[in-house]
Amino acid sequence: MKEFACQYALLRFRPFAETGEFANVGVVLLAGEAGFFGFRLLKRYGRLTQFFYPFDREVYLNGRELFKEELQRFAGELRRDALDGGRAAPNLLLASKHFADLVRSRDAMFHFDQQRLVLANDPATKLDALYDHYCERNFMSREY
């Protein structure tokens, strides 16, 4: 089975820039050769309101929805310009440049960590695994 090179970045939520504290709340992943771009965002916010106490959950929920809309817009443009667009093969350089622009460093409440690389047979499954590890912390066990 073929492995695809995937670029991914963690979406972080940092409501108070002064402290630098953050929580991982999402993952974006691009596998240009496979023509895949996907993202997953954290839906639950209980851990955020406890960690960033006192904190209004509506700030996160509203910000998350706006970010989701932006990622959906980006996904459509990426597919049109670089991944689908009626070409025989994806434009990997253009897709990579668009992704790098998406995840570039910003000073905002929602921002991306550095871009990372991983190999995957199935990019959608890898996206789910990365989300489960970094956002849902599925490695946590009683022994841990």
Q: What is the pLDDT of residue 25?
A: 94
Per-residue pLDDT of 68-116, as tens digits, reads 999 999 999 999 999 886 667 889 999 999 999 999 998 889 999 999 9
Which of 107, 134, 103 has the alpha carbon at shortest distance from 18? 107
Q: How buried is residue 60: exposed, middle or buried, by Cβ count under 10 Å (0-12/13-18/19+)?
A: buried
Per-residue pLDDT of 118-137, as tens digits, reads 999 999 999 999 999 999 87
- Per the DSSP assignment, residues forming a β-bridge with 13 are 23, 110
Per-residue pLDDT of 26-64, as tens digits, reads 999 999 999 999 999 998 877 777 778 787 888 888 999
Q: What is the Cα–Cα distance from 13 to 24, expressed in whole angstroms?
A: 6
Collapsing DSSP to helix, strand or coil, 28 comes out as strand
Phi, psi of 106 (to 5 degrees): -140, 155
The predicted model scores a pTM of 0.89
For the cut 60, the answer to whether the pLDDT of residue 144 exceeds it is: no
